Amino acid sequence: MTVQSAMPKCWNEETKPHKFCPGCGHGLVLKALGQAIDELGIQDKVVFGCDIGCSLLSWDFFNVDTIQTHHGRTNPVITGMKRANADIIGVAYMGDGGGYAIGSQHLVSAATRNERITSIVVNNTQYGMTGGQMAPTTMPGQKTETTPYGRDPETTGSPTQGPEMVAAIAPEGAYVARGSVANVRQLKGYIKKALENQMAGNGFSFVEALSLCPTNWRTNAKDTWKFLEEDMYKYFKVGELKVPGSQEKEGQ
């Protein structure tokens, strides 16, 4: 039985259809987030922060208080808010450039301080808004505007493993997972857990969402999903990497 699920209640209908390119994964990630917010009944508590890059197009996406920040600076803005008002449920939403390149020091520090915020990084393996340049997450051999002959790990390094890094440095209480827009139900579950973990005051809650960018990948529908589910999955393993209370289990 497949039923087209309704628009999440916390979505702002007036700004739909959304501003993302056709085929973009952001809409799916934001749908998962919207559903999680609805299920938890926290629309009036959430403050949603979006970054620079494609994520900024979500500045009026929800009927929740929203602040669009600077490139890479969403984690500190939401951190500052949460530190000033613990009743806020802070969500920092950004792309892989904002999370792992220009804002990496903020991600690392928010993780090591176990900031009680939920940080979501959308990984589509390149910089979308600026026209498809290499990102920290670009796959080896992947062609982008700044790696026209394919990314050479020898000179440009290997794709950043964001959740693995966060899981390695965040203290007990943190929640870390990687989901995918190819499995929105699972992704929603991860995001919901990440919100619940913040609400419980346990620690930093981080979800990377593997996403799609047919515009800059220059792929048709079939190849778009193929790139995500075959190529990206080889490098980026979907699953939970750190769950509060299961520290010992992980060490076994």
Partner 1 sequence: MPEKPIQGEKKVFVTGNEVVAWAALAAEAEIMYGYPITPQNEIMHYWTRTIPKFGRRFLQTEDELSAGFTTVGGVLAGRRAFTATAGPGNILMQEPLSMAEAMRVPIVAVVEQRGGPSTATVIYSQQEVTLTTLGGNGEGLRVVYSTATHQDLFDYTIKAFNTAWKYRFPTFVLADGYQAKMRESVVFYDPAERGIKMVPTEAYVGRPGMPGVDRPPMHMRNTYNMEEELYEVLQEYLADYAKAAPEIEEHEAFDTADADLVVISHGVVSRACKMAVQELRQQGYKVGYFRPITLRPMPEKALREVAATAKQFLVVESAQGQLARLLKEAMYGGTAEMLTLFKPGVGVTSEEVVARVKEIKG
Q: For binding to partner 1 (CB under 8 A), which residues are involved?
A: 10, 12, 43-45, 47, 52, 56, 59-60, 62-70, 73, 76-85, 87-88, 105-106, 108-109
Which lies closer to partner 1 via its Cβ, residue 80 or residue 141? 80
Minimal distance in Å, beta carbon 105 to partner 1?
5
Report how far residue 73's alpha carbon sits from residue 63's, in angstroms, rounded to the nearest whole number: 22
For partner 1, the closer CB: 108 or 243: 108
Q: What angle do CA 166, 168, 170 make, to 5 degrees?
A: 60
Please compute Rg for the chain using Cα positions.
Answer: 17
Could you tell me the smallest distance in angstroms from the CB atom of residue 92 to partner 1? 10
| Cβ-contact 27, 62 below 8 angstroms | no
H/E run at residue 74? helix 74-84
103 vs 179 by CB, closer to partner 1: 103
Distance (Å, rounded) from C-alpha 194 to C-alpha 202?
10
Q: Compute the least distance from the CB of residue 67 to partner 1, in Å.
A: 5
Closest CA to 92 of 126, 64, 51: 51
Q: Judged by CB, which is closer to partner 1: 91, or 139?
A: 91
CB of 238 to partner 1, least distance (A): 29
Least Cβ distance, residue 138 to partner 1 (angstroms):
25
Q: Which is nearer to partner 1, 59 or 233 (CB)?
A: 59
Give 59 or 225: the residue with its C-beta nearer to partner 1. Answer: 59
Q: Is residue 101 within 8 Å of 190, Cβ to Cβ?
A: no
User: Shortest distance, CB of residue 62 to partner 1, whole angstroms?
Assistant: 7
Helices within 113-252 (DSSP H only): 153-156, 162-169, 184-199, 214-217, 221-226, 233-235, 247-251
CB 182 within 8 A of CB 225: yes
